[in-house]
């Protein structure tokens, strides 16, 4: 660390060296001086090292990609991070620029951005934790009750889908309306209809999936997959013939690309899953749309998963993370994931630092740091 050497380094060499720092170290370094703070916003650094500027996989990015775990017993900005590049766990605090961050709930992540809701001020907050930027978005009306929030990044920005009912109505009210926020125009569009009845209660717990220019949702029994057209606000159902004897269904997209869509579901009888399968959605001009079976979860893994969720499949949720289809349960701190490129199933074990007394309420998120993700 001889200053006589470091002071003579060309800026581009210094940028290259700093790109190898772990994300947590890099974030701490930014606050040490103005030069380091401004370094990440220079065109050479963004062009060389932004994860979004590369068309290849995230392995080309200097920043690790993370799976992070939240729990009601954690502090509002404290999460357990799993570094997927280095296969290590870390207990860290993540902060954004909102002064009232403790009031924000309903955390959703997509494409390096996070979306949080604040019922006290009837607003949403979209933030980029790496760039320390955020945007506060007011509800389209103050007399509405937020029933469901889907937040997805698209190739041109991000879309927020919210299902509202009037605050005086019950959550199952047929007067629910859909509002869609488009980051390209920074405004809401309202669509009226009986969406609460048509989409069902299931979507209030699980996000929609962006695919082929629309948002797709899996509905509860009788199971179906419906498409919400972002252009005209109409529902199309059903989408493809579903497999027989399914006990639960979850949709997974390909991380905002909108090119592939998968279906994770249990197969069995009388509400008991005997196997868990993965299907991919296929579009055919001659034979129509259909779900093609890709893989089945090995028997021993299946037995473990159905035992930890106690056959209460409402606790099961899925998401995409850097080529992985992650299957999680609110009652269990481990992740079951399918590696698409290798067609193999794996368990991500429990974090050693996690308190043993933590029970229900585990929630995993995908965090792929992206300097270029605009709020």
Closest CA to 46 of 59, 63, 32: 63
What local confidence, expressed as pLDDT, does residue 196 receive? 62
Closest CA to 194 of 222, 220, 172: 172
Q: Return d(Cα 164, Cα 171) in angstroms, integer.
A: 9
Q: Return d(Cα 55, Cα 66) in angstroms, integer.
A: 19
Q: Return d(Cα 95, Cα 54) in angstroms, integer.
A: 26
**CB under 8 A, 24+ apart: contacts of 117-126:** 117/146, 117/149, 119/146, 124/149, 124/160, 124/181, 125/96, 125/98, 126/151, 126/158, 126/160, 126/183, 126/375
368 burial type by CB count under 10 A (0-12 exposed, 13-18 middle, 19+ buried): buried
What local confidence, expressed as pLDDT, does residue 42 receive? 61
CA angle 219, 224, 228 (to 5 degrees): 70
Q: In 291-339, which ranges are continuous DSSP H helix?
A: 299-308
Q: For the whole model, what pTM was predicted?
A: 0.81
Distance of CA 362 to the CA centre of its chain: 15
Q: Return d(Cα 18, Cα 44) in angstroms, integer.
A: 13
Phi-psi region of 156 (alpha: psi -120 to 50; beta: other; left: phi over 0): alpha
Q: Among all chains, which residue has been given the structure tokens 């969406």? A: 195
3-state class (DSSP) for residue 4:
helix
Q: Return d(Cα 375, Cα 373) in angstroms, integer.
A: 7
pLDDT in tens, the chain (375 residues): 677 777 777 877 777 777 677 666 766 777 787 777 766 666 555 555 554 444 334 344 456 788 988 877 765 555 677 888 777 876 655 554 444 444 556 678 998 899 988 878 889 999 988 778 899 999 988 777 777 889 999 878 999 998 876 654 444 444 567 899 999 999 999 987 766 656 665 555 678 999 988 999 998 888 889 899 988 888 887 678 888 899 999 999 987 777 899 999 999 998 899 999 999 998 876 667 889 999 999 999 999 999 988 888 989 999 999 999 999 999 898 999 999 999 999 999 887 777 767 778 888 999 888 877 889
Within 13 Å and on the Cβ side, how many CA atoms surround 87?
3
What are the structural domains of the chain?
1-50 (no CATH), 60-366 (2.120.10.80)
Q: In the chain, which ranges are continuous DSSP H helix?
A: 3-6, 11-18, 23-30, 34-39, 43-49, 195-199, 299-308
């Amino acid at each position: 660390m001889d200053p006589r050497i470091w002071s003579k380094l060309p800026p581009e060499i210094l940028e290259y060296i700093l790109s190898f720092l772990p994300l947590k170290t890099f974030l701490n370094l930014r606050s040490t001086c103005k030069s380091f703070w401004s370094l990440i916003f220079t065109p050479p650094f963004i062009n060389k090292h932004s994860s979004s500027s590369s068309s290849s996989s995230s392995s080309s990015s200097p920043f690790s990609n993370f799976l992070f775990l939240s729990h009601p017993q954690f502090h509002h900005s404290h999460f357990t991070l799993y570094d997927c590049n280095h296969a290590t766990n870390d207990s860290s605090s993540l902060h954004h620029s909102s002064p009232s961050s403790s009031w924000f709930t309903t955390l959703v992540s997509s494409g390096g951005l996070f979306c949080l809701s604040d019922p006290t001020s009837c607003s949403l907050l979209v933030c980029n934790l790496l760039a320390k930027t955020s945007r506060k978005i007011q509800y389209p009306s103050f007399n509405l009750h937020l029933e469901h929030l889907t937040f997805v990044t698209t190739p041109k920005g991000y879309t927020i889908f919210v299902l509202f009912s009037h605050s005086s109505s019950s959550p199952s009210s047929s007067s629910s309306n859909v509002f869609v926020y488009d980051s390209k125009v920074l405004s809401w569009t309202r669509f009226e209809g009986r969406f609460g009845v048509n989409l069902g209660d299931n979507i209030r717990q699980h996000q929609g999936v962006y695919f082929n220019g629309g948002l797709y949702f899996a509905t509860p029994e009788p199971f179906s997959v419906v498409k919400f057209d972002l252009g005209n606000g109409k529902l199309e159902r059903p989408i493809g013939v579903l497999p027989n004897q399914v006990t639960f269904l979850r949709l997974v997209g390909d991380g905002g690309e909108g090119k592939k869509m998968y279906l994770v579901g249990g197969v069995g009888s009388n509400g008991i899953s005997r196997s868990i399968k993965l299907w991919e959605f296929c579009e055919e001009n001659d034979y129509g749309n259909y779900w093609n079976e890709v893989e089945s979860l090995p028997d021993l893994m299946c037995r473990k998963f159905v035992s930890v969720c106690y056959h209460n499949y409402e606790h099961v949720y899925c998401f995409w993370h850097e080529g992985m289809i992650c299957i999680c349960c609110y009652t269990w701190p481990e992740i079951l994931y399918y590696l698409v490129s290798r067609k193999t199933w794996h368990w991500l074990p429990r974090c050693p630092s996690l308190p043993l007394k933590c029970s229900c309420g585990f929630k995993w998120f995908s965090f792929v740091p992206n300097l270029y993700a605009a709020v």
